[in-house]
Amino acid sequence: MEFAEHRLYNTGESTRHIDWKLFARSEKLFVKRYEEETNLRCQIVIDTSASMQFPKDTENNKLKFSVYCAAALCELLKQQRDAFGLTLFDQDISKHFAAKGSPLHKKLILNTLQDVLDSPAETKKTAAATALNQIAEIIHQRSLVVIFSDMFESNSENEELFSALQHLKYKKHEVVLFHVVDKSKELDFEFENKPYHFIDLESGEELKLNPSQIKDQYQNQ
């Protein structure tokens, strides 16, 4: 078991985990808490690929929304004294912090989320299926895995994405997927009736057209 933190001893409970060395210095009874004693292990997974920055140059794009939600979840887990970790991915896993319960570790996670807001990736493509399969293999303890992603996949079909999610389930993890999309633009295709110059955030591919001419076809597809 890995040490997580100290808490004050409550009269009447077991003395098994009292830190006697700390008592000798402080003359107060503290109990050692370990990660396995926490109620929950949560691994927060965020897609940081370029498509998550849509709509570009706005106050609340998909990536910012995901980071804000993840930060709120971290605060809730911190209040509950639960262990949590963070994984960031685009084409590959860019950062991975296993779930821990120490205050220092939790501060590191929140600082990393702030870094994502301050310096998002520019042209990184998405390989969600590959990344989720990797995550399934590196999380060694049963966890709640919370994923924030638009699930836009550069190379894989939907079957591969579902297979990657099933891989996490096979490893006995509880999986929650927040499928993050911009409803007005990406689903409803609401643009003014005029020519637009579209640029793919991940590939750089460009397309000039009037959205009203293809709106019905786009929505059907």
- Cα separations in angstroms, 215 against 62, 90, 163, 211, 221: 22, 29, 31, 6, 10
Instruction: Say if residue 89's pLDDT is above 90.
Output: yes
Interacting residues of 93 by C-beta distance below 8 A, sequence separation 6+: 87, 131, 134, 135, 138
Structure tokens at 151: 């699930």
Average pLDDT of the chain, as a whole number:
90
pLDDT of residue 121: 64
Instruction: Say if residue 155's pLDDT is above 80.
Output: no
Q: What radius of gyration do the chain's Cα atoms show?
A: 22
For 46-58, write each residue's pLDDT tens digit: 999 999 999 987 7
| Beta strands 3-8; 30-34: pairing state | antiparallel
Confidence of residue 1 (pLDDT cuts 50, 70, 90): low
Confidence of residue 110 (pLDDT cuts 50, 70, 90): very high
Instruction: Say if residue 181's pLDDT is above 90.
Output: yes
% of the chain exceeding 90 in pLDDT: 68
Token pair 């402080």: residue:
26
Instruction: Say if residue 74's pLDDT is above 80.
Output: yes
Q: Give the domains, in start order, of the chain with CATH numbers.
A: 3-36 (no CATH), 38-187 (3.40.50.410)
Instruction: Say if residue 16's pLDDT is above 90.
Output: no
Of 213 and 203, which is predicted with more confidence?
213
Q: Confirm if 56 and 30 have CB atoms less than 8 A apart.
A: no
Cut 0.85: pTM above it: no
Nearest to 116 by CA among 151, 88, 83, 78: 88
For 26-36, write each residue's pLDDT tens digit: 999 999 887 65
Our CA dihedral for 36, 145, 135, 91, rounded to 10 degrees, sits at -150
pLDDT of residue 124: 79
